[in-house]
């Protein structure tokens, strides 16, 4: 009998210590779209979880525990756990106010780009015709004879390669004006070789550099930083 009492006491203690689970669902402020990846943390125990694709979550918690819910771009939320209830919660999108700025012409990138374009304008505007093999009246090359064929063929390849390299170089220069070492350092704390290694591991696409907002760029860096940390723990 005494053993049974001890076992029951252990069971109820375990239940009281952390055996209960808080279930719930998180959506946007309109209650229409489920929010994926919301981080929920039990402030009393430090135990955490995230919402799934349907916005649902379950987290070990006792009645009265304070639970925080956070997601980039939304206001933080705290609520009191009640495992007997299914919590339907919503997060309010955060209003982001951008600092006033003056759009100036002739930025350093624009000057560099314009200068480079002017310097190589002849090469950029030159359209070298690729030699074509014809079979009209026998095998031959249209409009070209002997060594001229080899020279023109090489000029075509060189010109095509130059234009491709020039375009890639100009795009990278623009990316470098947004995806800077100073920005990455402020968000990750990386310096030196670690900073360079991170940026080489996660290069930024030109299209994203052109279209992404400052907030989207910071979120992109933070997401890659989380992935980097996960990889370093393996």
| Domain locations in the chain as residue ranges | 19-91
Q: Cα 1 vs. chain centroid, distance in angstroms? A: 61
Residue 17: its pLDDT value, please? Answer: 47
**Sign of the CA dihedral with 38 first, then 42, 43, and 45 last:** negative
- In degrees, rounded to 5, the angle at the alpha carbon of residue 159 between the alpha carbons of residues 158 and 161 is 65
What pTM was estimated for this model as a whole? Answer: 0.38
Q: Where are the beta strands (DSSP E) in the chain?
A: 21-28, 39-42, 48-50, 56-60, 66-70, 77-80, 86-91, 133-134, 140-141
Give the pLDDT confidence of 167-202 residue by residue, as tens digits. Answer: 787 888 888 889 999 999 998 899 998 889 999 999
**DSSP, res 96:** -
Give the pLDDT confidence of 81-134 residue by residue, as tens digits. Answer: 999 999 999 998 886 544 454 444 455 555 555 555 555 555 555 554 444 545
- Relative to beta strand 86-91, strand 21-28 is parallel
Which pair of structure tokens corresponds to residue 104? 């100036």
* Contact assessment for residue 90 and residue 75, using Cβ atoms and an 8 Å cutoff: no
Distance separating alpha carbons of residues 230 and 234, to the nearest angstrom: 7
* Domain range 19-91, CATH architecture: Sandwich (2.60)
């Amino acid at each position: 009998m005494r053993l049974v009492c001890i076992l029951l006491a252990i069971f109820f203690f375990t239940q009281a210590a952390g055996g209960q689970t808080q279930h719930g669902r998180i959506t946007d402020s309109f209650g229409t779209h489920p929010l994926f990846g919301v981080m929920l943390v039990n402030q009393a125990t430090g135990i955490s979880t995230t919402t799934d694709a349907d916005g649902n979550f379950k987290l070990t918690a006792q009645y009265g525990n304070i639970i925080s819910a956070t997601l980039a771009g939304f206001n933080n939320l705290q609520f009191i756990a009640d495992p007997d209830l299914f919590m339907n919660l919503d997060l309010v999108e955060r209003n982001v106010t951008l600092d006033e700025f003056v759009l100036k012409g002739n930025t350093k990138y624009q000057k560099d780009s314009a200068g480079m374009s002017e310097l190589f304008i002849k090469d950029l505007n030159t359209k070298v015709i690729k030699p074509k093999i014809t079979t009209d009246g026998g095998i031959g090359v249209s409009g070209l004879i002997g060594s001229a064929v080899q020279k023109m063929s090489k000029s075509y390849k060189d010109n095509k390669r130059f234009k491709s390299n020039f375009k890639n170089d100009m795009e990278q220069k623009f990316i470098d004006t947004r995806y800077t070492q100073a920005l990455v350092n402020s968000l990750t704390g990386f310096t030196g070789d670690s900073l360079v290694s991170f940026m080489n591991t996660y290069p930024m696409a030109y299209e994203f550099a052109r279209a992404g907002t400052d907030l989207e760029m910071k979120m992109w860096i933070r997401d890659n930083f989380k992935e980097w940390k996960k990889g370093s723990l393996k």
